[in-house]
Structure 1
Amino acid sequence: MRSGLLLRLAGPLQSWGERSAFNVRDSAAFPTRSALCGMFAAAQGHDRMADPRRYADLEFTVRVDRPGRRLVDYHTVGGGLSHERTVATSGGKHKGAAVVSRRHYLADAVFVVAVTGPDSDITPIADALEHPHWAPYLGRRSCVPDEPLLLRPHVCDPVTELLTKVPLTPPEETPGANRAGRAPSGTLLVDFLHEHPWDTMQQDTNVLDGTTAIEVADVPESFAPHARRYGTRRLYKTAVPVPTALMVSRDENLSDRLISYALGAAA
């Protein structure tokens, strides 16, 4: 049987490496499949040599509550040290000077992720997230997640929960004024990222804004430090109307709504 769990990825900073290499550490605009599989592997105590294809049967649907703001952090590594203590090169020598590194983050972003898969996968992942071997983080160890991270450890249909029940974090500014006129009464438009065209997901949802296809190289084939490999997949981005009642109002306590939902009192 298939079921799922729900994650809420929120915090001051997130960083989901997409094409990171050398001195520029970028971030995708959403949680990547490789990062989520890495989070599960770490929580379950698997080291980097473990085969990440154990998570191949999982499907991810991401609701973008807040896209966040782009932030670039300027780093230097190895400055002020003696030559032999500066950054090493691949040839075994030393650079002898500071190395500049620019690291990209999403500030104040919020994503809610529906993870769907066989019960035999979902149950141990949920157990591990509740009692992790290595602490989860939002793409980088310095990016600590808000609580609750695991909104629901087991739901029969997590995608429908995203559409109809999971509380929606209010945006930093007035929500989607440029879209409001195109949303049905009593709803607002929210971006979803999903792995299959929406009309094949058996969702009774009126999609207004069409779908954009995105090619991403984030399917982990190996996490080995010197042999990392990633395959590609196609994602679909769709603006979908969800009930306005899901939005946490300014005079409500967001934590209270989230905890109530996590404990079983649906919004």
Structure 2
Amino acid sequence: MTTLLLGLAGPQQAWGDSSRFTQRQTRPEPTKSGVLGLLASAMGRRRTDPIEDLASLSFGVRTDQPGRLERDFQTEIDWRTNKSRQLTHRYYLADARFVAAVHGPDDLLEGVVEALSSPTFPLYLGRRAFPPAGPIRGRLVDGSVLQALTSADWTASEHHRRAQGARVRLPIVRDADEGEAAAETIRDHPISYDPAHRRYEWRDVVHEFVDVDNPESTRPASRPDWLAALGGN
């Protein structure tokens, strides 16, 4: 089995896993349900189609550029009564970049790569109003999710790189292996995308990091010790 790597970048992204009523939250990284939904759209699957094969894939994501958490609100008028509905507050990530990885059978992932080259339905980053910055291309590599995310090139923008230090720590969130202690349990394992019977189950995840060199850094290596310069005893 191999691992499929995907670059996810765009002006805005939103990856909710626990939104309720008038508060639409986003996690700081793409969710498994959101990314698998993107793959299903590329493959031409409708929301009522089975997704067991996609849901069985192992998933992980690396944050290359965390972006900024922003909030806007949505107003709505009930056309039947002409009355305003309650404001909806929506959170999203601005100017973020991620590398997502899914691991599974070669034939399934090869089909996903082909579908991404000519997606059946439009692809978006969590919400329909948030298109990606460019075409999403898949790349197959050998190894596990962790191995693929550890070795993948850093995709941050030049502006972001210059603002970071000479050594940068990139967070990784991935499915916990069987018997592995979980750092967090989130309701993000998709069972059905059917609007009439939408269903998600819980999944255990672990948090890890990978350190990368950053030769483009313009940040000083250390702050000067002004008190030491005074030559005090």
SS at 2:84's partner residue? coil
Question: C-alpha distance in 2, partners of 1:250/1:173?
Answer: 4
2:50 maps to 1:51: yes
Q: Kindly indicate whether the alpha-carbon contact (under 8 Å) linking 2:190 and 2:201 is maintained by their aligned counterparts in 1.
A: yes
2:222 maps to 1:222: no
Give me the identity figure in percent.
Answer: 33
Q: Kindly indicate whether the alpha-carbon contact (under 8 Å) linking 1:212 and 1:238 is maintained by their aligned counterparts in 2.
A: no
The residue aligned with 1:174 is 163
- CA deviation after TM superposition for structure 1 residue 69, in Å: 1.1
SS at 2:100's partner residue? strand
The residue aligned with 1:195 is 175
Question: C-alpha distance in 1, partners of 2:198/2:109?
Answer: 25
2:125 maps to 1:155: no
Give unpaired runs (5+ residues) of structure 2: 219-233
SS at 1:20's partner residue? coil
What TM-score do the two structures reach when normalised by structure 1?
Answer: 0.72
2:93 maps to 1:106: yes
Aligned-residue CA RMSD (Å): 2.6
What TM-score do the two structures reach when normalised by structure 2?
Answer: 0.81
Q: Kindly indicate whether the alpha-carbon contact (under 8 Å) linking 2:182 and 2:204 is maintained by their aligned counterparts in 1.
A: no
The residue aligned with 1:183 is none
Show CA shifts across 1:4-51 (max 9, x none).
221111111000121123322111111111111111111111111112
Give unpaired runs (5+ residues) of structure 1: 87-93, 181-186, 201-210, 252-267
SS at 1:216's partner residue? strand
Question: C-alpha distance in 2, partners of 1:123/1:224?
Answer: 25
Q: How many residues align?
A: 214
SS at 2:154's partner residue? coil
- CA deviation after TM superposition for structure 1 residue 248, in Å: 7.5
1:161/1:220 CA distance change after superposition, 3 Å = closer
1:219/1:161 CA distance change after superposition, 3 Å = closer
2:60 maps to 1:68: no
Question: C-alpha distance in 1, partners of 2:94/2:215?
Answer: 20
Instruction: Choose from 98, 121, 133 the match for 2:108.
Output: 121
Question: C-alpha distance in 1, partners of 2:129/2:23?
Answer: 17
Show CA shifts across 1:162-219 (max 9, x none).
32341341537732x5xx7xxxxxx53211112136xx8xxxxxxxxxx970111010
The residue aligned with 2:8 is 9
- CA deviation after TM superposition for structure 1 residue 131, in Å: 0.7
Question: C-alpha distance in 2, partners of 1:238/1:64?
Answer: 11
1:151/1:167 CA distance change after superposition, 3 Å = farther
The residue aligned with 1:254 is none
Q: Kindly indicate whether the alpha-carbon contact (under 8 Å) linking 1:4 and 1:156 is maintained by their aligned counterparts in 2.
A: yes
The residue aligned with 2:224 is none
Q: Judging by fraction of residues, say which structure has more strand.
A: 2
